[in-house]
Structure 1
Amino acid sequence: MGTDIGTNSTKTILVSPEGEVLGTGNAGYEVEQPEPAWAQQWPDVWVEATYDSIQQAIDDAEVDPSDIRGISISSLYGGAGVPIDADGEAVYPCLIWMDRRATDQVEWVKEHVDLDRLFEITGNYVDSYFGYTKIRWIKEHEPDVWEDIENFVPPNNYVEYVMTDELAVDYSSAGNVGGVFDIHDLEWSEEACEMLEIPVEKFPERLVPSEEIVGEVTAD
């Protein structure tokens, strides 16, 4: 089974071991845009849509859920990622890829960060598209929220966390945060985070290749 969490909908497909499509599902939703150039979504919307689309695919295929061997989840570029507290609860909406509020943070990075070195480590320069500028926006504009944030988690990894109670980030999603992931050593970059004044501890410890099994779906 494969599920893709998109900007406006979540899609699920169920296939046989031979690649035959057995069933599909789709659940739509809206992007919150409370201010011009803002774009955000609460992660519970993605969780509900994931469960909904999965159930649709199962019903469409007329299969026993216990026969499903595994599920892989991909997602939209989640910008800053889902800010969660120590209990794993979201404390602020996810500022997604199309959010452009972090213009002042872009200028700060241009003035204070060695952009060539940042690119050398992460493969990224500076633009409000990238999650690290949005993370700095939260740090500067929502200090009370910032204090409660334990981790920033990409959308697909957050849904996996809800489904398995295992917190892990795949390399691809880590790189998509932009500016904080070392593409050579495949780990969060302490040097880049120090330059950006973002604590590296704000990112989940467990990093995995995309093909690694994160965990098993819980009874809940």
Structure 2
Amino acid sequence: MHTIVQVDQYIINSAEFAIPILEHLRNLVHKADARIEEKMKWSMPFFELKGPVCHFASFKNHCAFGFWKGSLMKDEYNLFKDRSNAMGSLGKITSFKDLPADEILIAYIIEAIKLNEDGIKLPPKPKAPEKPSLVVPKYFIDALQEDPKALGVFQNFSESNKREYVNWLEEAKTEATKQKRLDTAVEWIGEGKPRMWKYIKK
């Protein structure tokens, strides 16, 4: 299906109150720059020119309009209610009263386009801290080496399966508990069972 038709369909299928608002927003975007292209992404209409510029979405009781690079925009009129995930959103729109003046919104759209034309990119997302590499205690390795089958199974376990056993042993409060868990761990591993095998749905 052609994207323009998809966007038409999206608007028609929206709640009755939203239809004129979405049509108005769509017209403003194209008025700001005739080169804008419409695309459907994540099941909602996006407006693109050398990359995403803005998008809108319709919900049961409100609409939303946001800018892809909102976090980099000046937001001179404090329109953005939320700049999470780098996007700038106008907040919940339930009627035309919730929209800024046409010329203000057009100025924002032009600013967003300029960011794309100037090649200004969003800063990369911070990487999640890496988990420290797994250290298998020597006593555990020694116990596994006494049972070659268990050792082979353990070596082929995923890191998360290995980690669950190591954590279980290391969390033991007494040496007696640790020894008991160690014997059980070697037995279970020899049978090919992960630490949480009892909870796996068959």
TM over 0.5: no
- TM-score relative to the length of structure 1: 0.19
Relative to its length, the structure with more strand (as a share) is: 1
TM-score (norm 2): 0.20
Mark the structure with the bigger radius of gyration: 2
* Higher relative contact order (Cα pairs below 8 Å, separated by 6+ residues): 1
